[in-house]
Amino acid sequence: MTHLTAEGDVNMVDVSGKPLSSRSARASGRMSLNPETIRLIRENGLKKGSVLTTAQIAGIIAAKRTWDVIPLCHTLILNKADVSLTVDKDGIRAESYINCTGNTGVEMEALHAVSVALLTVYDMCKAVDKSMVISEIKLVEKTKEEI
């Protein structure tokens, strides 16, 4: 068994020399659920309440607090944080759109929003579905426009 140890200093990347720009990112992910769980979500029949609304709010909060969870992420003031969840016949699709004016990107915020939204669905449904699988979390797009 090989053990790795931290070597050298760990630092945030210095972005102070980068110009401000409008930055955005989109991310998405999926969660498979059994048909009965999907029915309960559609009918708001779970004990913990509205799964989609709670997951949407959790995703937005996650985007705003990414710097608090991922150690080397910069603190950003977000202009927009949208998270949407869509139920289909196999499960739920989560999508996020994040925008800020800053000197570093927002892809981690977009990915974190989707991840936490889907984890919230998992938490709210775990009592009734042991077969849930979160998958395909990915960055869909990122943009940077000079201002």
CA angle 46-47-51, nearest 5°? 50
11 inside domain: no
Q: What is the pLDDT along the chain (147 residues), one digit of tens a residue?
A: 777 777 778 888 999 889 999 999 999 999 999 999 999 999 999 999 999 999 999 999 999 999 999 999 999 999 999 999 999 999 999 999 999 999 999 999 999 999 999 999 999 999 999 999 999 999 999 999 998
35 inside domain: yes
Catalytic annotation, pick one of 14, 82, 90, 123:
123
Question: What integer pLDDT is reported at residue 28 of this predicted model?
Answer: 98
Strand order in the sheet with 91-102: 78-87, 91-102, 21-32, 133-146
Q: Reply yes or no on whether 123 is catalytic.
A: yes
Question: What integer pLDDT is reported at residue 45 of this predicted model?
Answer: 95
63 inside domain: yes
Query: What is the count of structural domains for the chain?
Result: 1
Residue 64: which domain range?
21-146
13 inside domain: no
CATH code, 26: 3.30.70.640
